[in-house]
Amino acid sequence: MLLKTENKVKTTQKKLLKMETIIQKTGKLLYLLDRKGKRILNTKVLKNHTSVILFIMVVCLITFLTMFWAWGYPLFKIIVYTSTAIVILFIVLIVVGSWHEAKRLHRNELVSCFYFKRSNINGIHLPDLGFSETDRENLNLVLNNLPATNKIDFKLVSDNRMAADYKKLFRILHLLIDGGIRDFKKERKEMLFKFIESTFTLNGLEVNRASLNSRFSEWVNESEKEFSGNLEPFRKVLGQ
Angle at 139 between CA 138 and CA 140, to 5 degrees: 90
Q: DSSP per residue over 89-154, as a string?
A: HHHHHHHHHHHHHHHHHHHHHHHHTS-BS-S--TTS-GGGGT--GGGHHHHHHHHTT---SSPEEE
Find out whether 156 and 165 touch, Cβ atoms under 8 Å: yes
pTM of the model: 0.55
State the CB neighbour count (10 A cutoff) for residue 69.
Answer: 12
Of the candidates 157, 148, 162, 150, the residue with the CA atom closest to the CA atom of residue 130 = 157
**Each residue's pLDDT tens digit, 132-184:** 999 999 999 888 888 888 899 998 776 656 566 889 999 999 999 988 998 88
Give the DSSP H/E element, type plus range, for residue 201. Answer: strand 200-202
**Each residue's pLDDT tens digit, 23-72:** 777 767 766 666 766 666 666 666 667 778 888 888 899 999 999 898 98
pLDDT, averaged across the chain: 81
